[in-house]
Amino acid sequence: MLSGLISLLNSDFYVVTRNWIFQFDISTWAWIHLILGVIILVAGLFLFTGATWARVIGVILAVLAALAAFAWLPYYPVWGILFIAISIGVIWALTAHGRDIKMAQ
């Protein structure tokens, strides 16, 4: 969310390179990051209430993050493996312990 907000406020902050598969305008990427950041923030807050839809969104986003980290492996192998491990931990926590909050209430 912060990355998107920074891009919207100062479009020269990030360096745009060429020859990539996905070539979007920096403001397009800024809006995508801002919207996804707000969705993640809202889902994260609703996780504390035990909302099932928030757990589903969390699992989906963790899977997408793991896939993105897998694509990073040739460029950042240590960070990619670490991020995949964290994503697997998040998926496990949301699926195995998601109902604990509802049972406590």
- Domain edges within the chain: 1-47, 50-105
More confident residue, 98 or 59: 59
> Does the pTM of the predicted model rise above 0.75?
no
More confident residue, 103 or 77: 77
pLDDT tops 90 at residue 88: yes
Q: Are 13 and 43 in contact (CB under 8 A)?
A: no
73-82 contacts, C-beta under 8 A, 24 or more apart: none
- How much of the chain, in percent, has pLDDT values that exceed 90? 18
Give the integer Cα–Cα distance in Å for 70 and 51.
Answer: 29
Of 31, 26, 25, the residue nearest 5 (C-alpha)? 31
Confidence band, pLDDT 50/70/90 cuts, at residue 104:
low
pLDDT for 49 equals 84
Q: What average pLDDT does the segment 33-61 reach?
A: 86
Longest dimension (CA), the chain: 53
